[in-house]
Amino acid sequence: MEVSTREPRDYAFAREMTQLGEQGWELVFAHQARDSKTEDYNYEMIFKRPATG
């Protein structure tokens, strides 16, 4: 099994989710967080998929 983490910005969320789904990644956990320096929101996400090797 492979595991990956991603932190896309709010505006890139839908595009990132589509790309990861097409690559076979399954969302395991997601949490929306705010960057205290920039006040921007992003998502902290963990994905898994079967090993491809």
pLDDT, tens digit, for every residue of 7-17? 887 788 889 89
* Pick from 1, 3, 9, 2: nearest CA to 44: 9
Encode burial over 5-34: b for 16+ CB neighbours within 10 A, e otherwise. Answer: ebebeeeebeeebeebeeeebeeeeeeeee
Kindly indicate the confidence band of residue 3, based on its pLDDT and cuts at 50, 70 and 90: very high
Tell me the pTM. 0.74
Boundaries of every domain in the chain: 2-49
Count other Cβ atoms within 10 Å, centred on residue 40.
12
